[in-house]
Amino acid sequence: MILYLFKSTMCLAILWGIYKLLLEAEKIHRFNRFYLLASLVFAIIAPLVNIEIAPSAESKIAAISRTLDARPSILNTIKPVQEISAQQDTSWTKYAILLSCLISALLLTRFIYNLFCIYKKVQKNESISYQGATLILLEENILPYTFLNFIFLSKVHYVNANIEPELLSHELAHVRQKHSFDVLVVEILRAVCWFNPMLYLFKQAIQLNHEFLADEAVNSLHNNITSYQYLLLSKATQATGKSLTSNLNFQITKKRFLMMTKITSAATAFIKKAICAPLFIALAICLANIQLTAQKPANLKLSPPPIEISLKPYLLTKDDVNYQNATILILQKKKFPLRKKPSELTEEEKKMPMKVLYFEKEVPTTAQMKKWEDSKMYGVWLNNKRIANSQLSKYKASDIANYFTSKLAKNAINYGKHYYQINLMTNDYYENVYLKEVKESPMLIIDLPVKKEGN
């Protein structure tokens, strides 16, 4: 989750930086509106994408070999107590998530309250249909502002015909171009992801671009830029509406005035738009979760390390379809094990009995299950997932197919919080997941030389 939030925030920061450097100063407002909204959607989705890379057969075998090299203790038939570094205890994250949800709930409540206030104004005050919009006449002395299809005006100014045509054209542009929907999307994201500072910057950029679009519509209709600029300056100090609305006074700056007279050539617009496509593709590749399927056969590192050599319950024979894809591990006295493909075996080696490397079933006792509920002494993983020790009370000893105990090293993250790690597999997981992995990626053992009985 933390990695996702980091990727999403960095993605927004990069896209916002590109917008400020390349796009904001150009008169391509419709494209900029699409770019800003697409950036928000992209930053949410891109970090969730998974890309799988299919490996060669050689890389699969190499992955298995690396796993075996990292765990030489699996060759012992006696269970060793291994020192490992346990995963970091994440109990503190529960409180962080709870606090984040509480703040989000408060912000969503404020958001809904603001919507309710606008709704009450619509219901309470007189309304008039006007060129596809609805004018809401208020008793307050305010500048016009817009939300969805509603334009809120001062009733006194409207009755006395004191509202300039440019102001109405400005608000009608917000209505016709549906700018309120953009603001609503950003406000909801801000409420949920309130801790992301980039959303505040994106809201400002989106609303300023809305004003560029509305100003462009006014000047196209009335064709008097200087007069319109003086009108904006004369209204700069008057009150406006809620934060959810589009209002005339949003960032009346030199940048906004300069944009009215800005000219962007078609070539410049095309080049800057074209840059955005490879930018999004590059970001998608960088943010995606790339998974090498070559590591799939080496899933033993995700399961409790195999420490038993057994023929039951799955015996691989030379007639088995999986035999040719197996990795043969040849044990030699006082030497490192050899790894061969079935086709590389000598005639002598082919005659040797072969055994599958995997966990046999081993059911714990009820007393052991009760002992493991002590969270100060034991950390518990069930089916490769960390669980609270108290959850063991939901299981009977007969529900467990296998267990493996490891002692934490003194430099382990959780050393001191607990001292042993217990890895458990339920019967269902053992039969339907673990044994399936063994069959799909078998590792066989030939023990040379053959030991005679009595030795």
Query: In the 3-class helix/strand/coil scheme, how is 21-39 assigned residue by residue?
Result: HHHCCCCCHHHHHHHHHHH
437 contacts 299 by C-beta, under 8 angstroms = yes
246 contacts 214 by C-beta, under 8 angstroms = yes
- Listed in sequence order, the residues at least 6 apart from 296 whose beta carbon sits closer than 8 Å to its beta carbon are 60, 441
Containing 331, the helix (H) or strand (E) segment is strand 327-331
Compute the distance between CA of residue 113 and CA of residue 107 in angstroms, rounded to an integer.
Answer: 10
Model-level pTM? 0.55
Alpha carbon 193 to chain centroid, angstroms: 13
Q: Please choose, from the candidates 138, 218, 120, the residue with its C-alpha nearest in 3D space to the C-alpha of residue 171.
A: 218
- pLDDT 10s digits, 16-42: 999 999 898 888 999 999 999 999 999
Count H helices and E strands in the chain, helices first: 15, 17
- Count of alpha carbons within 13 angstroms of residue 453, beta-carbon side: 0
Compute the distance between CA of residue 451 and CA of residue 414 in angstroms, rounded to an integer.
Answer: 43
pLDDT (average), residues 87-116: 80
Alpha carbon 210 to chain centroid, angstroms: 30
Compute the distance between CA of residue 190 and CA of residue 200 in angstroms, rounded to an integer.
Answer: 7
pLDDT for 19? 92
Q: Averaging pLDDT over each range in 331-335, 373-377, 431-435, which range is the top one?
A: 373-377
Compute the distance between CA of residue 229 and CA of residue 235 in angstroms, rounded to an integer.
Answer: 10
Q: Does residue 86 carry a pLDDT above 50? A: no
Q: Does residue 356 carry a pLDDT above 80? A: no
pLDDT (average), residues 203-215: 90
- Kindly indicate the confidence band of residue 360, based on its pLDDT and cuts at 50, 70 and 90: confident
Both tokens of residue 364? Answer: 């714990």
